[in-house]
Every structure is written in structure tokens, then in C-alpha cells.
């Protein structure tokens, strides 16, 4: 390798290790992310944008992948750069930190004390051995048990607290990479799909987003019932609930298991979430129709605009329905075809007032007895084998950032030296963060040590 090449490699390495790159990448990620919150990110709405804002703007944004920017090559490249920067920074700094923690400086020479902000010296009329034992006991009690090194008649002590706090930042960095790995695993081996199941029917397939090819579940899911309940006195929904039955290999795994929003069902790593609902087909209305002349009542049912046969050739035609008709409750608008294929005059019948229609004075007295609208339940279906990797990353991020921010690696060095017939004690300390806090603790400690040694 020539000099030029090696210097190029070095500067490239330095570039990827630089904190400036980190700051710039983070700011770039922050500013570019705004685009996707302003421009629509799904194809349907992008089309709407084309119609509203014109072809030119649409084409430009389209060419820059602005309508799917979080999956665009340039955004992924930014994320890759971010990851690379993270990895390089960590590789560069980690070995030194590892050494600091695992091979600490046990013998502090005078030079070392000069680098420490907190130092205290005193001279005692006690032999070295006695002072040593006192200080060792004192540190063990008040700080942490020290490592004792004796060299040339001098005694050196080293004690430390929370050395692993130095790894917090690397755990945080690693956690981000783990989250990325989890996201990639989920994208490669999982899917997001949806399925609509009509009440009383079952399905074995779901539809992935952005694809026409359905996915086979390998088991069947039936929707036994879907219901919406409301809070008293209002239109505010309280609960959307589906009863699902899961059958796998002829075996019923879940029988009419209720799922609601915020309480999904999982089988074989595939989870079903209550997401939407809607009417399936036309509602079926039930009526009790009484012939005034004979007093005989028949129960009939049918859909809207259907001619429902009544005894003697006439028929009943439901024309419309509402759950609430001017505070009278459920009501249907119907008309009667007397057998001449003509719609008679439409009239209203009320479910809560079955005798109301007698007043009309017609040959048929009609009462609404029920309306049954079938619903489909809309389920989100997700399979994400990477999600646990993501949670592991998140947990590490919390632990890592907490220890990076709130724990501090504190170290104390003591040198005990014979000075004539006296003994000199020098104590110094440092903390890898929160120096002001350490300063206070150190001052407290040295006062205590002084009293301890004086006694």
C-alpha cells in the first residue's frame, strides 16, 4: 500500500468516525423526515396530489421518491450512513474504554495526580502500615474496596465505582443497530395484511398490503358475531367486538374468543387485530302482518324493495329503515301491493309501537318486529418474527441511555509514602461525568478521611 492510499484510507476512516458526521446526519435525518409528514405517503393520495397540484410538481416529487420517502434509496442510504458512523465511532473508542475498565491504572505516580481535579494531601505521624490499613478499611466502608499495590516501600490504592457506566453509551449505540436488525427481520420474514370476514363465514386467506396475492394462513378463522356498543346517551362508541373461532387441522383452538381494539388474538405467530367493520349485504327486516278481517297474523321477512308475499296474493314492500325515527326508535317505511303490481302509498311502522298501524284503517295491519343487518369485521393481520428483536433493542436502549446519562464511573487513587519518620497520604479522584457532583462527594470523603486518620 502506498502512502497516498493509506492516507486516503485513514482520512476515510476518520470521516466515518467523526462526531461532526453524526451531528450532520442526525440533522439531515430530522429535516428530510419532515417531507413525508407533509406529502401523502400512499399511492391513492399521491394521485389526489397529482390532480390538485399539477403534473410538474408530481413528476419532480415522484422522481425523488417523495411519495414513499421512508423507503426511498436516499433515506435508506442516510440510515445506512448513520449506522456506519455509529459502528465506526464505537469500534474506534471501545477498546480504550475496555482497557480503562479492565486494566485500570493501579499505581498512581505524581504525574497522574497532577491530571486530577480533586486532590488532597496530608502528613501523619503514623507508620505506613497503620495508615495503609486505616485507609483500606475507610475506602471499603465509605467508597469501594481498593486494590492494594506495594512498590519500593510505598503503598498505592485504587478503588472504583460503577465502571460499567462507561459502556452505557455503547449499549445505546448497539441497541439502535439491534432495532434496525429487528425491523429488517420483520420486513423479510413477516407481513402486514388485512381480511374482511362476514358474520357467520370463515376464511383461510388474508390479503397482504400492496399485493394481489393472498396469503394462506394454514388454519381457518370464522367470525361468529360482530357488535358495536355505545356509551349511554351518545354516539360515542364504547366497544367494537368480534367473536372469532379459530380451527386448525379440524381442531377448534379458540371458540368464539372475543377480540376488541387493544385486545388481539394470536395463533401460530399470526395476530388478528380488530380494525374496522361495515355492513355485509342488505339488512333483513321481519314484520308481523295481521289481516284485519280474519284477525290472523303471519310473520314474514325480506330485504329492502323485495316483494314479500302475504296470504291472498298481496305483498309487503320494505322501502327504507332507520334505527331511530324522531325518538320513537327503530322504524321502517313500507308499502303494500294489493296484488295489482302497484305500490300503494308508503307508510311508517314502528318497532316499539306494534299497534300504531291499526289507526291507518287498512285491510292489513303491519308491525315491525326486527331488523337484522349482517356485518363484516375488518381485521388487521400481522406476522412479525422480528418484533422481539426490536423490543430487546428498546430495552437495551432504555438501560443503556439511563446508565450513560445517570451513572458515572468514579475512581480514587491513594499514594501512601514514607516522608522521613512521617507518612504522607495523597488522595485523588475523578469521575467520567457529573464532575460537580463528584467534587461535592470528594470533598465530603476527604473530610471524613482526615477525621478518621486523625483519631
Partner 1 sequence: MTSSMLSNIVTFAYFAAMVLFIAYLATRSRHVVLLARLCAWVGFTLQTVAIGLRWYESYQLLGGDGRAPLSNLYESIVFFAWSILLVYLLVDLKYKQPAIGAFVIPFAFLGMTWAQLGLDSAIDPLVPALQSNWLTYHVITCFLGYAAFAVACGVSIMYLIKAGKEEQAGPNAPVGGIVGLFPSTKILDDINYKAIMIGFPLLSLGIITGAAWANYAWGTYWSWDPKETWSLIVWFVYAAFLHARFTRGWVGKRAAWLSIAGFAATIFCYLGVNLVLSGLHSYGGG
Interface positions with partner 1 (CB under 8 A) = 19-20, 22-23, 26-27, 29-30, 33-34, 36-38, 41, 70, 183, 192, 231, 236-240, 260-262, 264, 271, 273-275, 380-382, 384, 387, 390-391, 394, 397-398, 401-402, 405-406, 436
Contacts of 65 (CB under 8 A, 6+ apart): 71, 72, 73, 74, 75
What's the first-to-final CA gap in the chain, in angstroms? 67
Cell numbers 475512581 correspond to 411
Contact call for residues 331 and 318 (beta carbons, < 8 A): no
Any bridge partners for residue 52, and if so which? none
Q: Which is nearer to partner 1, 164 or 406 (CB)?
A: 406
Nearest distance in Å: CB 164, partner 1: 17
Nearest distance in Å: CB 200, partner 1: 23
Nearest distance in Å: CB 11, partner 1: 18
Nearest distance in Å: CB 24, partner 1: 8
Going by C-alpha positions, the residue among 97, 71, 74, 80 that lies closest to residue 16 is 80
Q: How far is CA 362 from CA 66, 321, 387, in A?
A: 67, 21, 67
Nearest distance in Å: CB 348, partner 1: 33
Q: Which is nearer to partner 1, 179 or 366 (CB)?
A: 179
Cell of 452: 478518621
- Gap between the Cα atoms of 366 and 302, Å rounded: 14
Q: Which is nearer to partner 1, 336 or 397 (CB)?
A: 397
Nearest distance in Å: CB 177, partner 1: 15
- Gap between the Cα atoms of 303 and 287, Å rounded: 11
- Gap between the Cα atoms of 439 and 14, Å rounded: 35
Cell numbers 327503530 correspond to 330
- Gap between the Cα atoms of 95 and 100, Å rounded: 9
Q: Which is nearer to partner 1, 300 or 394 (CB)?
A: 394
**E strand segments, 351-409:** 364-372, 375-383
Nearest distance in Å: CB 43, partner 1: 15
Q: Which is nearer to partner 1, 21 or 223 (CB)?
A: 21
Q: How far is CA 105 from CA 4, 116, 154, 157, in A?
A: 38, 13, 16, 10
Q: Which is nearer to partner 1, 21 or 334 (CB)?
A: 21
Q: Which is nearer to partner 1, 87 or 148 (CB)?
A: 87
Q: With the CA atoms of 104, 110, 111 and 113 taken in that order, what torsion angle do they form, in degrees rounded to the nearest 10?
A: 60
Q: Which is nearer to partner 1, 44 or 436 (CB)?
A: 436
- Phi and psi, residue 214, nearest 5°: -70, 160
Contact call for residues 268 and 253 (beta carbons, < 8 A): no
Contact call for residues 380 and 206 (beta carbons, < 8 A): no
Nearest distance in Å: CB 104, partner 1: 23
Q: Which is nearer to partner 1, 259 or 416 (CB)?
A: 259
Q: Is 85 exposed, middle or buried (0-12, 13-18, 19+ CB in 10 A)?
A: buried
Nearest distance in Å: CB 67, partner 1: 12
Nearest distance in Å: CB 99, partner 1: 20
Q: Which is nearer to partner 1, 122 or 434 (CB)?
A: 434
Amino acid at each position: 500500500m502506498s502512502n497516498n492510499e493509506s492516507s486516503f484510507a485513514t482520512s476515510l476512516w476518520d470521516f466515518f468516525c467523526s462526531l461532526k458526521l453524526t451531528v450532520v446526519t442526525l440533522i439531515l435525518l430530522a429535516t428530510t423526515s419532515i417531507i413525508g409528514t407533509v406529502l401523502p405517503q400512499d399511492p391513492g393520495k399521491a394521485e389526489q396530489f397529482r390532480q390538485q397540484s399539477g403534473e410538474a410538481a408530481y413528476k419532480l416529487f415522484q422522481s425523488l421518491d417523495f411519495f414513499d420517502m421512508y423507503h426511498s434509496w436516499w433515506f435508506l442510504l442516510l440510515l445506512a450512513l448513520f449506522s456506519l458512523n455509529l459502528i465506526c465511532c464505537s469500534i474506534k473508542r471501545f477498546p480504550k474504554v475496555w482497557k480503562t475498565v479492565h486494566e485500570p491504572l493501579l499505581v498512581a505516580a505524581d504525574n497522574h495526580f497532577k491530571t486530577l481535579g480533586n486532590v488532597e494531601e496530608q502528613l501523619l505521624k503514623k507508620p505506613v502500615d497503620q495508615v495503609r490499613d486505616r485507609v483500606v478499611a475507610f475506602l471499603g466502608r465509605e467508597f469501594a474496596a481498593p486494590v492494594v499495590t506495594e512498590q519500593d516501600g510505598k503503598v498505592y490504592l485504587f478503588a472504583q465505582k460503577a465502571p460499567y457506566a462507561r459502556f452505557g453509551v455503547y449499549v445505546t449505540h448497539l441497541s439502535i443497530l439491534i432495532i434496525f436488525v429487528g425491523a429488517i427481520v420483520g420486513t423479510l420474514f413477516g407481513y402486514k395484511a388485512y381480511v374482511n370476514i362476514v358474520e357467520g363465514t370463515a376464511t383461510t386467506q388474508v390479503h397482504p398490503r400492496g399485493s394481489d396475492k393472498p396469503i394462506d394462513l394454514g388454519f381457518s378463522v370464522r367470525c361468529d358475531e360482530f357488535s358495536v356498543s355505545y356509551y349511554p346517551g351518545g354516539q360515542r362508541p364504547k366497544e367494537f367486538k368480534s367473536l372469532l373461532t379459530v380451527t386448525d387441522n379440524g381442531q377448534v383452538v379458540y371458540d368464539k374468543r372475543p377480540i376488541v381494539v387493544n385486545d388481539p388474538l394470536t395463533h401460530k405467530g399470526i395476530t388478528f387485530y380488530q380494525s374496522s367493520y361495515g355492513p355485509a349485504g342488505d339488512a333483513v327486516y321481519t314484520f308481523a302482518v295481521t289481516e284485519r278481517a280474519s284477525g290472523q297474523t303471519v310473520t314474514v321477512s325480506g330485504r329492502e324493495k323485495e316483494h314479500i308475499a302475504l296470504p291472498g296474493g298481496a305483498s309487503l314492500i320494505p322501502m327504507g329503515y332507520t334505527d331511530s325515527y324522531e325518538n320513537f326508535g327503530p322504524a321502517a317505511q313500507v308499502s303494500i301491493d294489493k296484488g295489482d303490481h302497484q305500490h300503494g302509498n308508503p307508510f311508517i311502522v314502528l318497532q316499539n309501537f306494534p299497534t300504531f298501524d291499526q289507526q291507518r284503517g287498512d285491510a292489513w295491519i303491519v308491525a315491525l318486529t326486527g331488523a337484522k343487518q349482517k356485518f363484516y369485521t375488518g381485521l388487521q393481520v400481522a406476522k412479525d418474527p422480528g418484533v422481539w428483536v426490536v423490543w430487546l433493542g428498546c430495552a437495551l436502549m432504555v438501560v443503556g441511555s439511563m446508565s450513560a446519562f445517570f451513572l458515572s464511573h468514579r475512581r480514587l487513587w491513594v499514594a501512601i509514602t514514607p516522608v522521613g519518620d512521617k507518612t504522607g497520604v495523597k488522595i485523588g479522584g475523578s469521575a467520567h461525568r457529573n464532575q460537580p457532583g463528584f467534587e461535592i462527594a470528594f470533598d465530603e470523603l476527604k473530610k471524613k478521611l482526615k477525621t478518621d486518620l486523625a483519631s
